[in-house]
Structure 1
Amino acid sequence: MSTHKLRNFVQAMTRLADEAPDEAAWLERGEALLRPLVAEDDWLPESCAEAGPGYRQYLLHCDPLERFSVVSFVWGVGARTPVHNHRVPGLVGMLRGEEVSVAMHPTPEGPLREGATDRLRPGEVVRVGSAADDLHWVANARADAPSISIHVYGGNIGAVERQTFDPATGAPKRFVSGYSNAAVPNLWDRSGG
């Protein structure tokens, strides 16, 4: 496994972060950088692709100033998130398998209502916003195998205080996701490429 593709992506995202673009420009330009990374499935370290029950969130890189983070989400069979927000802009690129994302919208009465459903396939990228009401839930769309997506967020997503929501009442609950791995991949070792 060679880390050069991920290393090149991290370097490009660092240059983008140095420019401090607004959210719309960060999403547009970040999407253009992420598409080639998820177009080829030959770079993700196996230690960051291990499935388990539910889903796992493996940190691949966090900018030292926490301006962005790169994470692999490994979706076990049947895995689904609660309804949640992000509080930072983000990009999701599908690497292996498929996932489904369902937008959720607050209502004056309290319960959340379902909105658009997106099905993400390998090589495709979607955007998520930073607004507090930008809610969705995500699930592995495959019933027979894990799926893996690569997420890039405009902050250290594992440390961002966010919320999950009860779909029946709309009631929020605080959460900080953290990460599943104890160590991040060494992107700077060039012995393997």
Structure 2
Amino acid sequence: MQLEHVSRPTRPLPPASHASRSAALEQLCREIDAAFAAADTGPHASFGERVRLALQRAIADPALLRLDQRIGNPLNYCRHLLAADPLNRYAIVALVWEPGQASPVHGHRTWCGYAVIDGTLEETLYRWDALEHRAIETRRHPRARGAVSYVDAGRGAIHQLGNPADAAARAVSLHVYGVAGEQIATHVNDLLAA
């Protein structure tokens, strides 16, 4: 990935009120709530698969995000907090990536899922080397519009996401994390040396 710099995201903005949420975002919240309910009642499709399908359906709606939820920051990738579960089980954010912006290399302290809404991100995958105490790059691949991913917590899914420096435009992705809304900046990423 050709990046100008690894950026630190801006602090998430307060979530949109229920009245200003799109129908697609409201439906996504209902589907994630249903995934939690199904996980509590016995064998069904896995929680991760339900989240993946919910993300896939949500990004199919062009009215998912308002224009102000697609605004970027020239210095860092930008987080827009879209919804925070009142039971603190999850938070939903839109990330806006200008060309050349990328996350640091990280694993996850919680489950998470993401989907690419606009543009193409590049994802670099890593494996954890316990002897060297660092992440070792294993492969890179583009994540085009419509790509959806889900991972559980831990160092089994270390990656870096970014919008390549030579990209023609910003990229936008939708993320769901298993944390309370106010914990997005502090309880999601497990930053690692590569």
The bucket for the TM-score relative to the shorter chain is 0.7 to 0.9
Check if 1:63 corresponds to 2:85: yes
- Per-residue CA distance 1:33-81 (angstroms, 9 max, x = gap): 1111112322202221101122011111111111111110100111011
Please say if residues 40 and 95 of structure 1, whose CA atoms lie closer than 8 Å, have aligned partners that are also in contact.
Answer: no
How far did residue 161 of structure 1 move?
A: 5.8
> Structure 1 residues 33, 122: closer, same or farther in 2, change over 3 A?
same
Cα deviation, residue 133, structure 1: 4.6
Runs of 5+ unmatched residues, structure 1: 168-193
Query: Is contact 1:91-1:127 (8 Å) kept?
Result: yes
Query: Which residue pairs with 1:117 in the alignment?
Result: 140
Q: Percent identity?
A: 23
Q: How many residues align?
A: 166
- Checking the alignment, whether the CA contact within 8 Å between 2:108 and 2:189 is kept in structure 1 is yes
Contact 1:68 1:155 in 2 (8 A): yes
**Higher deviation after alignment, 148-157 or 43-52:** 148-157
Name 1:101's counterpart in structure 2. Answer: 123
> Residue 79 of structure 1 contacts residue 140 of structure 1 at CA under 8 Å; is this kept in 2?
yes
Could you tell me whether the CA contact under 8 Å between 2:121 and 2:163 is conserved in 1?
yes
Aligned to 1:78: 100
Q: What TM-score comes out, normalization by structure 2 length?
A: 0.76
SS at match of 1:57: strand
For structure 2, the 5+ residue unaligned runs are: 1-19
Q: Say if 2:153 is the partner of 1:126.
A: no
Q: Is 2:159 the counterpart of 1:136?
A: yes
Q: Is the 8 A contact 2:32 2:50 kept in 1?
A: no
SS at match of 2:102: coil
Instruction: Confirm or deny that 1:150 pairs with 2:174.
Output: yes
Give the distance between the partners of 2:133 and 2:21, measured in 1 at CA. Answer: 49
Alpha-carbon separation, structure 2, partners of 1:86 and 1:12? 22
- SS, match of residue 30 in structure 2: helix
SS for the counterpart of 2:154 is coil
Please name the residue that 2:16 is paired with. Answer: none
8 Å CA contact 1:89–1:154 kept in 2: the answer is yes
Contact 2:77 2:96 in 1 (8 A): yes
Counterpart for residue 32 of structure 1: 53
For residue 5 of structure 2, what is the aligned residue in structure 1?
none
Residue type of the alignment partner of 1:4: A
RMSD of aligned C-alpha atoms? Answer: 2.2
